[in-house]
Amino acid sequence: MLRSVTSLTRSGLRDWLVQRITAIVLAGYVIFLVGFFMLNQPMSFGLWTALFQNGFMRIFTFLALLSMVYHTWVGMWTVLTDYINCPRFRLLLVIVIVLSLFSYLAWAVAIVWGLR
Amino acid sequence: MSLSEHVFDAVIIGAGGAGQRAALQLAQSGKKVAMVSKVFPTRSHTVAAQGGINAALGNSGPDNWRWHMYDTVMGADFLGDQDAIEYMCKHAPDTIIELEHMGLPFSRNEQGKIYQRAFGGQTLNFGGDLAHRTCAAADRTGHAMLHTLYQKNVEARTHCYNEWYAVDLVKSVNGGIAGVIALCIETGEVVFLKSRATILATGGAGRIFQTTTNAHTCTGDGLGLVLRAGLPLQDMEMWQFHPTGIAGVGVLVTEGCRGEGGYLLNKNGERFMERYAPHLKDLSCRDVVSRSSMIEIREGRGLGPKGDYVLLKLDHLGEEVLKERLPTVMTLAKTFAGVDITKAPIPVTPTCHYLMGGMPTNINGEVLTVNKLGKDQIVPGLYGAGECASVSVHGANRLGANSLLDIVVFGRAAGLHLEAALQSGIEMPQVGTAELEEAMSRLNRWNFSQKGEDMHVIRTEMKMIMQKDFGVFRDGDTMNDGLKKLQALKERLAHAVLQDKSLTFNTARIEALELDNMMEVALSTAVSAERRKESRGGHSRIDFPDRDDAHWLKHSLYFGDGRVGERQVSQKTKETAPIELQLREH
Amino acid sequence: MAKTNVTLTSSNAGMPEDRQLTVSIYRYNPDVDKKPYTQDYDIHTSEFQGVMMLDLLEALKIKDPTLGFRRSCSEGVCGSDGMNINGKNRLACVTSYLDFSNHITIRPLPGLPVVRDLIVDMTQFYKQYEKAKPFLQNKNDPPVRERLQSIEERNKLDGLYECILCACCTTSCPSFWWNPDKFMGPAALLWAYRFVADSRDTQKAERLEALEDPFSMFRCRTIMNCVDVCPKGLNPTKAIAHLRDEMLKDTS
């Protein structure tokens, strides 16, 4: 069996499963938002902030963000291991990508929960 | 001469069913064994066998290996050695079970046992009803077998020289065989594979004919090796013409088609085999069916613009049966004849298929020669198995599905015998420079050839002669004529040139080396066929239409220097009474 | 005496009409060439018998014996003559020139090192095949007779055991091009499933575990090039999906 320390779960099966589950969460989130926009015309800043005051929406958003992080990690790791042959350079890129993903996550959480 | 030496307990040349079965035996018992093949092992021609493999397993009603033996002796037109046939038929069931345990994906019957179908010349109770004795993996039995054997060799970590070509045998100083000169096709490197014993399992030589079911690689390499080492070949006149090669292309469709209920038709729509062989009809022995088809064609009842083929009808079997049992035939007919077999018959014609003759061996696979007194003599350090050998279980005509059996039974037998011999100790043969130079001379001849004729022309002419003068029906005058032309061709070949001397994967060099072997085989066939003045099995003479047991119930021998001879046909069975001489249904 | 009406809807009777073909072939002999080039050959189809690309190549080889390609059975069962003809991986012996225009391009199988002309070095392909442990493993003592297998159990092997190792699929797979040393490729995975699916094999769990890493099998992105090119009509992508299903069943 082949090993890789930079893949998300280090298991092909788990990576594959994570990618599918996160895709479903992201798809659900997008559909929910599109539906929300369509049902609430005209959209206003008030409606929008009200939505994000809701606890369910905050958790759903957090889940979607987390899914995006995991989904991107798996996907970008796959792309990099396909096309970047130099292992040092590839490691650097994976680290940069993963660090920025978590930075985005932290930033987004701060926004949604209104942390200052 | 500096020639690098690789040393082994055993070197096996050829990686078809026989070579791989022998290799597996030796590798599993921990011997240092090398398997040399000019193609990757799963590309050997065993892969193309379709119909199946005979064994009296009795999965579809009672069966007995003695009935199988009777059929084989009768099929061989009594030129088979009965000790060998007895050994093969008796060990057939165990050998098949062994293959099943190795993982061969046999088709199954309702009880979950190996599926067995009817096949040509197979009867119950010594010539009674049709037997269902042919174990099958759909119509891909050879493919399934070859891959299974290779897979087991992968597991056993057999040392493979893949895409290496055996140039010539190296004799030891005491007259035995010490190994082989081998050429790496990819790099052009030449080495001496030195071994305590060498097993030849190089398969057939059908490519000496213009149209054949055989692969491009069936060029009789082992046969050429043996002749040049001064050893004889046996029954080289005995070629089998398969009744159902697709007309014009030579691609085989299995006898299993007729085993499943298909039959042949002439241009009048007549099922003509009922006339020639009322009992077994389309499932008569192949020589009988091929001759009948040829008579139909010669007497103007063939089809096509040249009237040169008959039809194989299958559509009445129904799409479901065809899909399940004959899927390969379905594809081949579509690809090569443009025929949908669920709707229309396939144009077929008798096509060169199998060589019954080869290097004479005993049932342990040890290669034999004859001494000055005409007595059999074992050649030290040399074994043979499979189509290149003549044990002889097929005599003058092989039964369908006995060839896959032959290769595994005698591949295994050779392996077992050599395993035991190595256990009790075989000395490493001694080789002198003279022997090595002799073995290198042929390769050197081509490598240093400066100018001369192109070998393609010679090859084309040889194939035409064989096709025209040594086909299903033979005649003294035309054979003499053909023989003279072949002798002239051999002389021309000795002065032909190899233009491309490059080292990397030079297929032109390999084809030149192969043509040397094909020419030897063609000549041995021509000489032996002209000499046997009778008709028996696959050898049918217009000028001698009958079997002549008084003069010709014997194996014919041919040596590379043109000498000929004979060997007795063995009747010495161990456990059962030998089958008495009788005439076959004609 | 049985009589049957004979009707031949179609047959190979009669040669197809003569055509002049231009065949562009990838040429490279490391002994003499600094780099690969394309050579054009002109040939009339009346100069040779048969309608298959292999018949054509054999005819060209008589004109130019330096042309290198592998071939053996000439009926699509040995798997020797896989090559890229007009952009698609196929077996030369079962591909008819009648399906093409008068200009045909032949290149070696992509993704493997070229040894000479149309001959590629298949070492990596065979290594991946061996990684699949392509042999039946059964830890129980064998019975005296055959191991029983129902017709239904045996049917599961159909579409799997017929692989001829021609490498058409694996060399058409981008995942194999990028990671030939790590991704096993469709052919090897088809063989892996052939043994997982065999009711006689006892090592299913071990076989599945060996494929669980992110590379060996999970590099398959289901683009199905392998299915598109397989000359035997097999479906490696489906076999891979089955392997994944078995893994999920086994581990969740």
Contact C229, C83 (CB under 8 A): no
Given this structure, which CATH class describes domain C16-120? alpha beta
Q: Do C146 and B101 touch (CB under 8 A)?
A: yes
Cα separation of B261 and B274, whole Å?
A: 14
Place of tokens 């082992």: B222
Q: Do the chains A and C touch each other, judged by at least 3 C-beta pairs below 8 angstroms? A: yes
Chain C residues 104-133 within an 8 A CB cutoff of chain A? none
Place of tokens 């892996």: C192
Contact B60, B109 (CB under 8 A): yes
Strand partners, B235: none
pLDDT reported for residue A5: 79
Q: Tell me the longest C-alpha to C-alpha distance in chain B.
A: 68
Q: Is the pLDDT of residue B56 over 80?
A: yes
Confidence tier at A4 by pLDDT (50, 70, 90): confident
C123-142+149-251 has which CATH code? 1.10.1060.10
- Cβ atoms within 10 Å, residue A60: 16
Cα separation of C152 and C156, whole Å?
A: 7
| Interface check B106 vs C, CB under 8 A | yes
Contact B166, B13 (CB under 8 A): yes
**Among partner residues C7, C29, C75, which is closest to B504 by beta-carbon distance?**
C29
Q: Where does chain C hold its CATH 3.10.20.30 domain(s)?
A: 16-120
Task: Find the helix or strand (DSSP H, E) in which B284 lies.
Answer: none
pLDDT reported for residue C15: 62
Q: Is the pLDDT of residue C19 over 70?
A: yes
Chain C residues 30-89 within an 8 A CB cutoff of chain A? none
Chain B residues 156-175 within an 8 A CB cutoff of chain C? none
Task: Find the helix or strand (DSSP H, E) in which B45 lies.
Answer: none
| Interface check B345 vs C, CB under 8 A | yes
- Report chain C's terminal Cα–Cα distance, integer Å: 66
Confidence tier at B533 by pLDDT (50, 70, 90): very high
Query: Domains in chain A, ordered, with CATH?
Result: 12-112 (1.20.1300.10)
pLDDT tens for each residue of C154-180: 999 999 999 999 999 999 999 999 999
B239-246/B346-355 β-pairing: antiparallel
Cα separation of C82 and C76, whole Å?
A: 10
Cα separation of C159 and C144, whole Å?
A: 29
Q: Which two tokens stand for residue A58?
A: 């905050």
Cα separation of A78 and B207, whole Å?
A: 50
Nearest one of B569, B535, B564 to B79, comparing CA atoms: B569
Catalytic residues of B: 286
Q: Do the chains C and B touch each other, judged by at least 3 C-beta pairs below 8 angstroms? A: yes
Chains that touch B (3 or more CB pairs under 8 A): C
Q: Do A4 and C211 touch (CB under 8 A)?
A: no
Q: Where does chain C hold its CATH 1.10.1060.10 domain(s)?
A: 123-142+149-251
Choose the mutation target among A11, A13, A70, A94 for the interface with C, i.e. most C CBs under 10 Å: A13
Cα separation of B166 and B203, whole Å?
A: 13
Q: Which two tokens stand for residue A54?
A: 């809701």
Chains that touch A (3 or more CB pairs under 8 A): C
Residues of B in contact with C66 (CB under 8 A): 499-500, 502, 508
pLDDT tens for each residue of B437-479: 999 999 999 999 999 999 999 999 999 999 999 999 999 999 9
pLDDT reported for residue C11: 45
**Among partner residues C174, C179, C215, which is closest to A12 by beta-carbon distance?**
C215
pLDDT tens for each residue of B212-248: 999 999 999 999 999 999 999 999 999 999 999 999 8
Task: Find the helix or strand (DSSP H, E) in which B343 lies.
Answer: none
Q: Tell me the longest C-alpha to C-alpha distance in chain A.
A: 56
Q: Which residue of chain C is at minimal alpha-carbon distance from A19?
A: C218
Q: Do C31 and B215 touch (CB under 8 A)?
A: no
pLDDT tens for each residue of B233-290: 999 999 999 999 999 899 999 999 999 999 999 999 999 999 999 999 999 999 999 9
Contact C216, A6 (CB under 8 A): no
Cα separation of B238 and B529, whole Å?
A: 8
Nearest one of B385, B142, B146, B111 to B255, comparing CA atoms: B142
pLDDT tens for each residue of B344-379: 999 999 999 999 999 999 999 999 999 988 899 999
**Crossing angle of helices A55-83/A87-112, nearest 10°?**
170
**Crossing angle of helices B507-531/B476-493, nearest 10°?**
150
Q: Do A12 and C214 touch (CB under 8 A)?
A: yes
| Interface check C175 vs A, CB under 8 A | yes
Chain B residues 305-324 within an 8 A CB cutoff of chain C? 305, 311, 313
Residues of A near C (Cβ–Cβ under 8 Å) read 1-4, 7, 10-13, 15-17, 78, 81-83
Cα separation of B177 and B367, whole Å?
A: 11
Confidence tier at C13 by pLDDT (50, 70, 90): very low
| CA-based nearest distance C218→chain A, Å | 5
